[in-house]
Structure 1
């Protein structure tokens, strides 16, 4: 079974605690309670690549309940320190850690990072502009003026391979490492199904019309809070008309060429996305049919 990066969280999210203040108070008072150590939004890892935890009094900010570990210990993250800016993008330090994560820790961190980031960016009511307060154990904010409730958002993104006569369509963007090609991707728009978004994005970016869209897997992508929805579609033709506002280049690659790239073979004609990215999972599924 496919296991995309940032999936496999083993923590009990314990929704019941979010609705019962007494249960949250008990979790906060539990001597086993642990606080995720973050540097801004970046995690801290030990020599084994595991997340580092501390006691609840070890950092500024408000506590955000993540759930219960398998041993029953309550787990928390914390909001950014008051007045601290929300870090933009992904730091070089985080990039260096992503290949070291233990899988379940990566999944737990993904949720925590997105939650902390959301609180840092959504301190005011979108309805009336009043400063909001954290409630539901950190999984919502409420406006004291108009009563509006705000919840962490998830932005759906389709990421897809178009296939034609045993070849996969991949593209590259200028900021990527030299030689890297990957699956095309784009945000879903309002009033659009997953299948329609896949067809629209491939046609907009590469000028190719597709049919028979098939779902493969999904992945939370915490930069800042997307849900990547991986699909494969059948292309009706292979002529390309590249939108250079979106892509630097796009090409068709055979299964053999993609397999070489996934294996990081020096003979590969391009560099594939790293294993923690769902593009790697998607291409692995496509190669394996």
Structure 2
């Protein structure tokens, strides 16, 4: 399936974002139905995804990577169960969060995370792994009640943690983050790089939304703080979103234009979030990638989609790709 881009001035057919795909109904109506959940867990068709510290077992095929899904009677002892949903065929899917993955599985299975295989998994597997990793990350870091400090336990099939003392319910946290393709009057793209990235890696700017702040305000603030460029709030336009469970973000993609005022496009990096930022024309980006001077954002990230929407199609191969 392809999706038609709505980005002004740049219409290209594009597949769904790598981490925004799904093939399973989350079936939230079953999360409080303990008899149904018990029956589903024991059903021979049910499949379970073992996950630990953001990784699961996969096997590599000519078509890409596939998750290793186990029958419930094959799963290791212990761990926490999270209900992930049901397929069109009625098969129920669970995650089993473990302290560590088993030492080995039969065959060619290997442990891998979303950064490595997220783009090569099929829709169902990508959705299952994103869901499982996000829940496992959250449960691992929310073992105690923020109100009274007592231990919490999983509830609602893994989608709630309940305090064992005050009974307060805690829900999975999702941190909103904006990521934006900013252009100027010459339709050049503003890209920056962090000091820890590989030499030559450039990407779109991004940052977390602060309390009491609109998404548009967050776009303008982050660009000004990181690169010193002023954004025209009236031009901020939503493009798409992508779960980013590293550990708990939702990336909200935007396009925006720099303000037309004098000096608004002058770059002054903050030296903390960014070590460098540049305005790129399409010709400059193409030449930089073909020479190996420039590395684009990873294909798993919405940043790559935003750059390609501006560029007008798939980016050229890099000499260092």
TM-score of the pair, normalised by structure 2 = 0.81
- For structure 1, the 5+ residue unaligned runs are 83-91
Aligned residue number for residue 182 of structure 1: 203
Q: CA deviation digits over 1:1-43, x for unaligned, max 9?
A: 1521211111010011012222212211221111113354212
Match of 2:68 among 36, 52, 57: 52
Is the CA contact (8 Å cut-off) linking 1:7 and 1:104 kept in structure 2? no
CA displacement at 1:276 relative to structure 2: 1.0
The CA distance in 2 between the partners of 1:183 and 1:260, in whole Å, is 18
Aligned residue number for residue 147 of structure 1: 167
Q: How does 1:220-239 map to 2 (within 5 A)?
A: 220-236=243-259, 237-239=264-266
Give the match's secondary structure for 2:19: coil
Match of 1:206 among 215, 227, 242: 227
Is the CA contact (8 Å cut-off) linking 1:7 and 1:220 kept in structure 2? yes
Aligned residue number for residue 280 of structure 1: 304
Match of 1:256 among 283, 291, 312: 283
Number of residue equivalences: 277
- Seen in structure 2, the aligned counterparts of structure 1 residues 39 and 122 have a Cα distance that, compared at 3 Å, is closer
Give the match's secondary structure for 1:124: coil
The CA distance in 1 between the partners of 2:274 and 2:300, in whole Å, is 22
The CA distance in 2 between the partners of 1:70 and 1:44, in whole Å, is 23
Is the CA contact (8 Å cut-off) linking 2:223 and 2:230 kept in structure 1? yes
CA displacement at 1:163 relative to structure 2: 0.4
CA displacement at 1:140 relative to structure 2: 0.5
Of 54-63 and 154-163, the range deviating more from structure 2: 54-63
CA displacement at 1:96 relative to structure 2: 4.0
Q: How does 1:98-247 map to 2 (within 5 A)?
A: 98-164=118-184, 165-211=186-232, 212-236=235-259, 237-247=264-274
TM-score of the pair, normalised by structure 1 = 0.90
- For structure 2, the 5+ residue unaligned runs are 4-13, 101-110, 314-321
Q: CA deviation digits over 1:145-192, x for unaligned, max 9?
A: 212101111011101121001101010001111110000110000000
Give the match's secondary structure for 2:179: strand
- Seen in structure 2, the aligned counterparts of structure 1 residues 104 and 174 have a Cα distance that, compared at 3 Å, is farther
The CA distance in 2 between the partners of 1:33 and 1:39, in whole Å, is 20
Is the CA contact (8 Å cut-off) linking 2:163 and 2:169 kept in structure 1? yes
Of 153-162 and 33-42, the range deviating more from structure 2: 33-42
- Seen in structure 2, the aligned counterparts of structure 1 residues 278 and 16 have a Cα distance that, compared at 3 Å, is same
Give the match's secondary structure for 1:46: strand
The CA distance in 2 between the partners of 1:180 and 1:63, in whole Å, is 39
Aligned residue number for residue 319 of structure 2: none
The CA distance in 1 between the partners of 2:93 and 2:284, in whole Å, is 44
Is the CA contact (8 Å cut-off) linking 1:33 and 1:56 kept in structure 2? yes
Is the CA contact (8 Å cut-off) linking 1:257 and 1:269 kept in structure 2? no
Is the CA contact (8 Å cut-off) linking 1:259 and 1:287 kept in structure 2? no
Of 39-48 and 228-237, the range deviating more from structure 2: 39-48
- Seen in structure 2, the aligned counterparts of structure 1 residues 66 and 259 have a Cα distance that, compared at 3 Å, is farther
Give the match's secondary structure for 1:233: strand
Give the match's secondary structure for 1:210: coil
